[in-house]
Amino acid sequence: MLKDYEPEKTLDKSEMAEEIKALREKLLGQQQLIRDAKIPILVLVEGWAAAGKGSLIKELISEIDPRFYHVASPSVIPEDEMRYPFLYPYATAIPENGKITFLDSGWMEACVRKLLKREITHTEYNHRVRQVNEFERQLRDGGYLIIKLFVDIGRKEQSERLSALLENVDTEWRVTREDLWQHREYKRFRDAYNDFMEATRQAAPWHILDGEKRKSAVYTALKCLVGGIEDALRDGRYTGEPFDEAFPLLEMPHLSDVDLSPEMDDETYKKQLKKLQGRLAELHNVIYRKKIPVILCYEGWDAAGKGGNIRRVAYPLDPRGCDVMPIASPEPHELARQYLWRFWTRLPRSGHICIFDRTWYGRVMVERLEGFCSEKDWQRAYNEINEFERQLTDWGAVVIKFWIHIDQDTQLARFTERQNTPEKQWKITDEDWRNREKWPQYEVAVDEMLQKTSTENAPWYIIESNDKKYARIKTLKIIVHALEKACEEKTGKVLGD
């Protein structure tokens, strides 16, 4: 497939220069339209070492106003130093609406190089290819324009370029040991690049550029970029269709069928609390040592007791290895990106525990009910979230999700108590009362969420919280059990224990 370059008109040197100039002017005119149409653009530039990826990007951005683009160069991090999921460097680098991010090497290089270096197995590689397809599709469906370029050069050309760089004291640092290794393994890389491109054409096509003809590569890249933008501006921001994927789902009861009567007396509570917190503290040491990432998700009715529950879980944990992440309404710079971005950027490093007080499930609850996203958006979200969570558990994370459940009477009693207790008044707002009125609609949404997103790898637990003590102990038990299991299972293979 390599050498199967983008078709080009036969142009002589001056015609080419003319065309490039015209394309640049077009791009210059497009930048404002992109902003108005709020289209975010991700340009992935992959290719051989010394193929000229950097120079190509330089030519692409040369006329664009710096307010409209950013160049990111995520480096390929060796597997045992990578404390984040595979997609993390890319998922956190996506542009906001109306802007362009150029990625100088990205997920392709990371997949291929790690496979050939045997840092990951073939199975892991295949998982990552699947993740890449999910990631690209999610971005596309979220309105992103993705342009993928591969800059190709032959083995002989690469040899000459590497030698030239090595001969100059000021440029020799540009050639890494990995580059030289790639050159020796040219053929294997060629095959692996081809395989990867073949496997990742679903959400966005690959454009292969002839890096040996610099001008022609610039010309083709500009054509892809300007053409892609033209199409996107004509068609408007894309919104993906909902789709079903066969995720193995756990059976969940409907909220109305949950028995909320369980209680716990004070003495049992205190005894159990102490025991479980002690065990959790011990486990945190193992988690840290074995570099297991842990993600605890809390959702629930207002006044269900999320905060107090979370505090009991966080208390025994070493604060240096544990973060509680309260999730409020998105800030403008967060709203301007795909909705999972603000969670990607908040993920814990491996070995750390992150407790999310509210989560990405806002998409299928408040955003659905308040119309903050379109119907297609939240309908698509069930699968997107399942994929996201599978990406987390593929990474090795323990992901547990709690729905802290109470009934309407209990909520009313707690609201009233908050209202009447001066120190607690800040906890109750008009919005809480408004949300309360929407209980039935929320219940439908929560039920649908629980049905569609309780997977074996990232299960939901409904926590009966009319009695907060019972709820806390139940939560702690579930966490302790899951962490014990993870610590036992953990062979250390993937995370480099």
- Which residues from 325-354 bind a second copy, rule CB under 8 A? 325-326, 328, 331-333
Name which position in 29, 236, 371, 492 contacts a second copy (CB under 8 A). 29
Shortest spacing between CB 53 and a second copy, in angstroms = 9
Shortest spacing between CB 125 and a second copy, in angstroms = 26
- Cβ neighbours of residue 250 closer than 8 Å, sequence gap 6 or more: 454, 455, 456, 459, 460
| Rounded distance between C-alpha atoms, residue 239 and residue 243, angstroms | 12
Nearest CB to a second copy, comparing residues 112 and 324: 324
Say whether residue 121 binds a second copy (CB under 8 A). Answer: no
Name which position in 160, 176, 205, 315 contacts a second copy (CB under 8 A). 315
Say whether residue 440 binds a second copy (CB under 8 A). Answer: no
Judged by CB under 8 A, the stretch of 198-206, 241-249, 324-332, 455-463 that binds a second copy is 324-332
Shortest spacing between CB 363 and a second copy, in angstroms = 21
User: Which of these, 150, 206, 156, lies nearest to 183 by C-alpha position?
Assistant: 156
Say whether residue 288 binds a second copy (CB under 8 A). Answer: yes
Judged by CB under 8 A, the stretch of 129-137, 212-220, 304-312, 338-346 that binds a second copy is 304-312
- Cβ neighbours of residue 249 closer than 8 Å, sequence gap 6 or more: 451, 452, 453, 454, 455
- Which residues from 62-101 bind a second copy, rule CB under 8 A? 62-63, 65-67, 70-71, 73
Nearest CB to a second copy, comparing residues 352 and 401: 352
- Which residues from 419-438 bind a second copy, rule CB under 8 A? 423, 426
Judged by CB under 8 A, the stretch of 5-13, 177-185, 319-327, 450-458 that binds a second copy is 319-327
Q: Do the beta carbons of residue 71 and residue 59 sit within 8 Å?
A: no
Say whether residue 32 binds a second copy (CB under 8 A). Answer: yes
Rounded to the nearest angstrom, the gap between the alpha carbon of residue 270 and the centroid of all alpha carbons in its chain is: 39
Collapsed DSSP state (helix, strand, coil) of residue 262:
coil
| Rounded distance between C-alpha atoms, residue 108 and residue 131, angstroms | 12
Q: Do the beta carbons of residue 165 and residue 59 sit within 8 Å?
A: no
Residue 322's alpha-carbon distances to 56, 149, 229, 295, in angstroms, are 42, 40, 43, 10
Nearest CB to a second copy, comparing residues 242 and 321: 321
Give the CA count within 13 Å in the CB-facing half-sphere of 248: 4
Nearest CB to a second copy, comparing residues 332 and 440: 332
Q: Spell out a b/e string for 454-493, using b for 16 or more CB atoms within 10 Å of the CB, else e.
A: bbeebbbbbbbbbbbbbbbbbbbebbbebbeebbeebeee
Q: How many residues does the chain have?
A: 497
Rounded to the nearest angstrom, the gap between the alpha carbon of residue 110 and the centroid of all alpha carbons in its chain is: 16
Would you tell me which residues interact with a second copy (CB under 8 A)?
28-29, 32, 35, 54, 57-58, 61-63, 65-67, 70-71, 73, 102, 104, 168, 170-171, 173-174, 282, 285-286, 288-289, 307, 310-311, 314-315, 317-320, 323-326, 328, 331-333, 355, 357, 423, 426
